[in-house]
A and B are shown apart, each in its own frame.
Chain A
Amino acid sequence: MTLRSLLDADDVRRAITRMAHELVEHDPDAERLVLLGIPTRGAVLAQRLAAQMTRIAGRDIPAGVLDVTLYRDDLAGQPTRATRRTDIPVDLDGATVVLVDDVLYSGRTVRAALDALTAFGRPAVVRLAVLVDRGHRELPIRPDAVGRNLPSAKSERVRVTLVEVDGADAVTIEGPFTEKEEHA
């Protein structure tokens, strides 16, 4: 078992800044743009992105929280998951919604998020922003803004830590590696 650092604090900060610019450019005319983060770290990222986007766009872009636990398709066969508070700050009917998560992997969390969104109304557009895309999609889902593409093995674990939750900004990968992969 080894642990590798993939992104340090500066890398994370730069990635978020670039994503904020991309997202603003993506929907320059969207009047009602709202970021919804998926707990826990997606919600923190949504806050940071919204703050930067507000500065870049020169208008208020709100951030909220969308818990998707009750909409997951993989609840059975695992210990019961705790739910988290959902906070939708604006009416989503006709809004441009950016879903935000830390790591994109199978795509099942995002599928659940799309399902959860329908309970609140009918957004005009839904986009997806993730800090890390590690591949291995199991559903036809693709992100619109990515901080960093990190191809990984399924046997590895990609971990995002953020100051607000974990005390430091970083992306690490851990897992059993062959010697060749370790020096690649």
Chain B
Amino acid sequence: MSEHLLSTRGFTRDSAVALLDVAEDMADTQRRQVKKLPTLRGTTIVNLFFEDSTRTRISFEAAAKRLSADVITFSAKGSSVSKGESLQDTAQTLQAMGADGIVIRHSSSGAAHTLATSGWTRAGVVNAGDGTHEHPTQALLDAFTIRKRRHGDDSRGRDLDGVRVVIVGDILHSRVARSNLWLLTAMGASVHLVAPPTLLPSNTEGWPVTTGIDLDEAIDGGPDVVMMLRVQRERMTEAFFPTAKEYASLYGLSVARADRLPESSLVMHPGPMNRGLEIAGAVADSPRSTVLEQVQNGIGVRMAVLYDVLAGERAA
């Protein structure tokens, strides 16, 4: 059990497998006649979103509601945050309102950690994406999806030993890549990062990964999983790469590239996708693509996380 979920760095193989096993049980409950569980009845969860993210917010909201928590959504736009209220004042206000859990998305790296350790609130904090730092529930649902595709109903108790994962795209700014590399390697997978030189962090020392700049080489290595990252168009102006067309031709997962992958290789994308840029539409819609499963699995995984952080005893 955890006090908060801020990062995937703290996971061991066993703790990750145990949490994904709970997520399996949570996913199973969503096939029952009555999908709502009484588990978090009387618990108030605040979705504190300083950055727009309809998908992640809705997924957390659905997860919390299926566990019978009361959910309050707090978007920065139109709130007192846009009037200049600090994170501290917002957190203290939520504490005074009796929030038991806070799901936070923020553009600053470390915002979730600050909220959890500041003493402004006693709520359990779940990081739903902080700057370019981490997005732990995305990594958990990715690991869950890989495991499910490989083992189906026999997924419980399994790690990712020997699974070879290639993550492609804007590694420099990607919290999805960071959370995934810690979690997947903790579970026994190997991770290879591929990016244009300008979008690869200058120092990846201490990361348990290999890196490269050649997507074709990585594809010909026959990886089990190719995870494509979203090109954040807002960063296109900063000249990290010359043109969208050039990016697509060098780092996009085209039909031709996907066809060179082993038949069993999976293609993943955290969404939302830029079809035709980092991934061809036909690849995104192909049987090897897990894009929609990732969205679906997100609810069970987030139910497991909320259960883990909020159901048991909390330190005073």
Contact = CB atoms under 8 A, between A and B. Distances in A.
A67 B311 CA distance: 16
Interface class of chain A by DSSP: loop
Interface residues of B, number: 23
Contact of B32 (A76, A80, A119): A119
Interface class of chain B by DSSP: loop
Interface string A119-133: 111000000000000
Interface stretch (A15-23, A83-91, A100-108, A138-146): A83-91
Contact of A80 (B1, B34, B38): B1
Given A70-B39, A119-B33, A119-B34, A80 B308 contact: yes
Nearest to A115: B38
Contacts of B221: none
B103 interface: no
Q: What is the size category of the interface that chain A forms with chain B?
A: 20 to 34
A75 B39 contact: yes
A71 B38 contact: yes
B21 interface: yes
A76 B312 CA distance: 5
Contacts of A77: 312-313
A84 B22 CA distance: 8
Given A70-B39, A71-B38, A78 B25 contact: no
A25 B260 CA distance: 64
A86 B32 CA distance: 11
Contacts of B39: 70-71, 75
27 contacts: A67-B25, A70-B29, A70-B37, A70-B39, A70-B67, A71-B39, A76-B313, A77-B313, A78-B313, A79-B1, A80-B1, A81-B311, A81-B312, A82-B18, A82-B21, A83-B21, A83-B25, A83-B307, A84-B25, A85-B24, A86-B28, A86-B29, A118-B34, A119-B33, A119-B35, A120-B32, A120-B34
Interface of B: 1, 18, 21-22, 24-26, 28-29, 32-35, 37-39, 67, 156, 307-308, 311-313
Given A78-B312, A119-B32, 10 more contacts: A70-B38, A71-B37, A76-B312, A77-B312, A80-B312, A82-B21, A83-B25, A84-B25, A85-B25, A119-B37
